[in-house]
Amino acid sequence: MNKIIIVLFLFLSVLEVNGQNASIDSAKNSENIQFKYKSLIIPSLLIGYGVVGLTSPTLKDINTSAKNDFRGYDDKKLNIDDFSQYSPFLSVYALNAVGIQGKNNFKDRTIVLGTAYIIMGGSVSILKKTTKVTRPDGSSSTSFPSGHTATAFMGAEFLYQEYKDVSVWYGITGYMVAAGTGLFRIYNEKHWLTDVVTGAGIGILSTKIAYWIHPLIKKAIFKEKDNTNGIVMPFYNGRACGLGFSMTF
């Protein structure tokens, strides 16, 4: 049963890319803000699954089964998820750097990414502090939801939105990396399946909201300034990972 749930999680991740079909207008069309509520179905289902799993004995049993199946008899942990979580959104800047232009310029896409990161990070932090779910390895009580997975899926949706008009395969690749990040969190015994599924939903939803409200934020806070430069980089100090970016106007 748990294998079916995991396959469904991967399927929904790819389906999210194929089913959106330009649900959110770009900043280039900021005067015509549109949002298709059907695009909320998949992230809402993912979040709902995790929330139900907080109290459902059946889903808790699936969590345990998934943990056992992933770990098996191998005690070796792979920390690739500490870095792969950033790959999807960094790909947007890398593609632009080599001349493959996406939907928005540096300023607009960075505002969108920053907004999505704030929404995602705030949501994850609040839920971790309020739910206090113990991690599979017992290291802390901040298991629900998975911040790594939320970051990865936030980036995957960001990559998709920026490059869906160039090729849908950019988005599919981003979502595959994000799904792999989530599965590594389970393998490394840092999160339960419900943590990962919820993190995926939060990440996707955060980026959708960021694009939705971007025209309002740009108009109210950043105005119309064209002379904008900046840099976005992840950091890792041996103990913790994070995201940092700076922008000059």
Phi, psi dihedrals of residue 93, rounded to the nearest 5°: -70, -35
d(CA 232, CA 40): 28
> pLDDT (tens digit, 9 = 90+) per residue, 75-125?
778 889 999 999 999 999 999 999 999 999 999 999 999 999 999 999 999
Q: Evaluate if residue 225 carries a pLDDT over 80.
A: no
Give the mean model confidence (pLDDT) for residues 1-26. Answer: 56
* Amino acid code (one letter) for 119: I
Token digits for 70?
């992933």
d(CA 196, CA 158): 19
> Does pTM surpass 0.85?
no
Q: Are residues 171 and 14 in contact, defined by beta-carbon separation less than 8 angstroms?
A: no
d(CA 39, CA 42): 7
The pLDDT value given to residue 208: 94
Give the mean model confidence (pLDDT) for residues 39-59. Answer: 93
The pLDDT value given to residue 15: 62
Tell me the domain boundaries of the chain: 78-249
Peptide bond into 234 cis (omega under 30): no
User: Smallest Cα–Cα separation from 47: which of 146, 190, 186, 125?
Assistant: 146
Q: Evaluate if residue 46 carries a pLDDT over 60.
A: yes
d(CA 81, CA 187): 10
d(CA 164, CA 141): 38
Q: Evaluate if residue 186 carries a pLDDT over 80.
A: yes
127: left (phi over 0), alpha (psi -120 to 50) or beta: alpha
